[in-house]
């Protein structure tokens, strides 16, 4: 494996069932989050008595202090949450856990996300609490699909990116989900004809370019690399985990939508990518598999450019050449199905799949995978990412 050893590792992963929006009714969102945490601890061979920290992201409603009581955690020494929109903070929650362990503020931290969108009624609602949206709402930009569609359309105008390229993202993810029994879309195939026949959501984004709306929970357990050696599972090293935002982004397309013109057709990840590679001591050519946040297929194409897998403007051709496919691709991505076809838990499923790839237990396993890139939400501010490895 390329890169340096990390003092922290993921030693347990846990999840609940994933359903469509509104599919979970017998348990509360809080109970779902607690269930995912217990499953992660059991996976690691730990109990709630071993935990002394919790992290999450983006205004999580599953309060850490109440989770402490519900699970019976005796001494809560650290809590943290990432600012920003939606899944942009997914990897950032893990970064906070890393910071806590490395600084000695906690020994074992659980990063988690529980999301029951049928209960919270998130689907289809505009966020009127953010004053920055006063610059977008009057123009009809009420939902993320509308907001980010403008960036994708600009990329198409500048570089010739096509709907056929976005179809490749959706079709590849669906094929991976069809091999994954946990995926919401496990039993549902998708053809190119179905993709193009689907209704337009926000031009140029069609139905299958847009992520699922899901119910479910995910959690990961982070501890020191030294302690990880004595636990149940093969530890997965966190080689780098970071947050970042480019100059002038503010709340980006989810707010003012006045990002600098020179970075408008990026995912706000260029500097973050350089930071991650530098911390991990690796480069794009070293990455074996990637879990790239796929809230909208066109943004994945742009992220491939931002993270250095192809030159600026060549993302469409990169996916058209089959590079992201599980079989035969130079960089298989979203091997569990991603947000488009596995489940949308604000991107936390990508973290779990990254760990499975390096454990060798994925349903679309990349042979001899040793390095995995995971990204948080694309085109938001701040966004986050991490690089996982095995030693």
* Angle CA 107–33–36, to nearest 5: 70
The residue annotated as part of the active site, out of 78, 208, 277, 293, is: 293
CA 360 from centroid of its chain's CA atoms = 20
Strand blocks (E) in 7-164: 8-15, 19-20, 53-57, 78-82, 108-116
Structure letter (DSSP) for residue 296: B
**What DSSP letter does each residue of 104-137 carry, written as one string?**
TS-SEEEEEEEEEHHHHT-TT---TT-GGGGGTG
208 given a catalytic annotation: no
DSSP-based three-state secondary structure for 320: helix
Strand blocks (E) in 315-362: none
Residue with tokens 């809080």: 30
153, 181, 220, 326, 334 from 362: Cα distances, Å: 34, 11, 16, 11, 11
78 given a catalytic annotation: no
DSSP-based three-state secondary structure for 384: strand
CA 203/CA 239 separation, integer angstroms: 38
Residues in the chain: 391
Neighbours of 81 (CB within 10 A): 17
Structure letter (DSSP) for residue 148: H
CA 75/CA 311 separation, integer angstroms: 49
Q: Which positions are annotated as active-site residues?
A: 293, 344
């Amino acid at each position: 494996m390329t890169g340096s050893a990390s003092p922290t590792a993921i030693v347990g992963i846990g999840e609940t069932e994933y359903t469509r929006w509104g599919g979970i009714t017998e348990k509360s969102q809080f109970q779902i989050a607690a269930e995912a945490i217990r499953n992660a601890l059991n996976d690691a061979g730990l109990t709630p008595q071993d935990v002394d920290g919790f992290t999450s992201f983006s205004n999580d409603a599953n309060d850490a202090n109440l989770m402490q009581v519900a699970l019976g955690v005796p001494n809560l020494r650290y809590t943290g949450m990432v600012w920003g929109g939606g899944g942009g903070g997914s990897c950032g929650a893990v970064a906070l856990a890393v910071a806590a362990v490395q600084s000695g503020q906690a020994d074992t931290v659980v990063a988690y996300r529980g999301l029951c969108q049928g209960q919270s009624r998130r689907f289809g609602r505009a966020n009127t609490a953010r004053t920055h949206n006063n610059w977008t709402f009057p123009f009809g930009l009420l939902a993320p699909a509308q907001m980010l569609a403008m960036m994708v359309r600009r990329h198409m105008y500048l570089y010739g990116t096509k709907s056929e390229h976005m179809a490749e993202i959706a079709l590849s993810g669906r094929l991976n989900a069809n091999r994954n029994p946990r995926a919401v879309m496990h039993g549902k195939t998708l053809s190119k004809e179905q993709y193009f026949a689907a209704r337009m959501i926000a031009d140029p984004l069609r139905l299958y370019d847009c992520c699922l709306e899901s119910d479910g929970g995910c959690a990961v357990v982070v501890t020191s690399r030294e302690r990880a050696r004595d636990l149940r599972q093969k530890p997965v090293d966190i080689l780098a985990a970071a947050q970042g935002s480019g100059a002038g982004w503010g709340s980006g397309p989810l707010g003012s939508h006045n990002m600098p013109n020179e970075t408008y057709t990026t995912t706000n990840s260029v500097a973050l990518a350089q930071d991650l590679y530098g911390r991990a001591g690796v480069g794009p050519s070293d990455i074996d598999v990637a879990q790239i946040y796929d809230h909208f297929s066109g943004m994945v194409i742009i992220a491939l450019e931002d993270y250095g897998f192809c030159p600026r403007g060549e993302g469409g051709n990169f996916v058209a050449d089959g590079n992201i496919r599980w079989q035969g691709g130079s960089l298989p991505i979203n091997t569990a199905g991603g947000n488009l076809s596995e489940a949308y838990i604000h991107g936390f499923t990508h973290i779990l799949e990254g760990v499975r790839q390096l454990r060798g237990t994925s349903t679309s396993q990349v042979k001899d995978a040793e390095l995995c890139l995971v990204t948080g939400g694309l085109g938001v501010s701040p966004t986050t990412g991490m690089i996982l490895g095995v030693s």
